[in-house]
Amino acid sequence: MQRTENYMVMEFLSRSSNESFARTAVATFAAQLDPTLDEIGDIKTAVSEAVTNSIVHGYPNTLGKIVVKVRILEKNTLEISVRDWGCGIENIDKAREPMFTTGGEERSGMGFTIMESFTDRMRVKSSVGRGTTVVMQKRIAPRMR
Amino acid sequence: MEVIAMCRERTLELKLRGELDHHGACGLLTKLEREIESALPSELVMDFRGVTFMDSAGIAVALRGWQRMRELGGSVVLRGVSAQARKVLETAGVGRMMTIE
Ligand SMILES: Nc1ncnc2c1ncn2[C@@H]1O[C@H](COP(=O)(O)OP(=O)(O)O)[C@@H](O)[C@H]1O
Ligand SMILES: [Mg+2]
């Protein structure tokens, strides 16, 4: 168990207009780790994918609660968890495969692949009818000044 | 997000402005298809200079453009793509199908 140096929690309704808000808020909180522009881009993209999944797939025909928790752990590590109480994922391994989607034609099936490659570590917990939690960790390398 | 379409000598240029996520992309695929259908271009240029953020929603848009242009025997160029958007496109190997500038 790593020590938590700082954290923030936010809760919002699964409206698509909150996608932009959520990724910007997480990036702003992460700014205290002095990330590079590339690292900020990675964080925003990964958060955008996770939050969009909760909005689009977790709550397909309804509005529900999404909670995003961000922790700063030892060794400059950022941990982001995105949780919904929506429909859940039946087969997580299948869902994580590149190009796999149960969505319409405006989905690419690349969300999990992006979350995985833009962070250092990604875990998915889900149960059908109960919801989904995605936890991502990213180490922000300290910079020389 | 905002789309401005311009057609000159069978080159259809679509200038995109704003954030290309699931929220911003709403209606964009339909608009893209409609513009291609009416212009029947030999080249599609999507100008990303005004795109301030892009996630996997942009992959679907680029691939749809590529699909339609392939049916017409034409090509696709993505212009003014930021480092962040390029990294997203590359996770799907989009650079192997069209030119990313
Ligand atoms: N929060 C979620 N709730 C329910 N299903 C999900 C959730 N996140 C992902 N999924 C499932 O995993 C699939 C793959 O997700 P992803 O890689 O982001 O691709 P896409 O969103 O383009 O479909 C989705 O199509 C969906 O079936
Ligand atoms: Mg997704």
Q: pLDDT of A37-83, one tens digit each?
A: 999 999 999 999 999 999 999 999 999 999 999 999 999 999 999 99
The token duo for A94 is 């299948």
The token duo for A118 is 């833009």
Q: Are strands A121-127 and A131-139 parallel, antiparallel or unpaired?
A: antiparallel
CATH topology of domain B2-100: Transcription Regulator spoIIAA (3.30.750)
pLDDT digits (tens, 9 = 90+) for B27-36: 999 999 999 9
Q: What residue segments make up the domains of chain B, in order of their start?
A: 2-100
Q: Which of A48, A97, A100 to mutate to test the interface with B (most CBs of B within 10 A)?
A: A48
Asked whether the ipTM of the predicted complex exceeds the cut of 0.85, the reply is yes
Average pLDDT of B13-30? 96
Identify the structural domains of chain A with CATH numbers, from first to last.
4-139 (3.30.565.10)
Instruction: State if residue A64 touches ligand 1 by the CB under 6 angstroms criterion.
Output: no
Active site residue A97: no
Q: Given this model, what pLDDT does residue A41 score?
A: 98
Q: Report the C-alpha gap between A68 and B72 in whole angstroms.
A: 44
Q: What ligand 1 atom has the least distance to the C-alpha of A54?
A: 1
> E-assigned strands of A1-142?
4-13, 65-73, 77-84, 121-127, 131-139
C-alpha of residue B92 to centroid of ligand 2, in Å: 13
Say if B91 is an interface residue toward chain A (CB within 8 Å). yes
| pLDDT for A105 beyond 90 | no
Residue contact A20–B19, C-beta within 8 A: yes
- What's the half-sphere exposure (Cβ side, CA atoms, 13 Å) at B46? 32
Within 8 A by CB and 6+ apart from A97, the residues are A109, A112
Q: Given this model, what pLDDT does residue A145 score?
A: 60
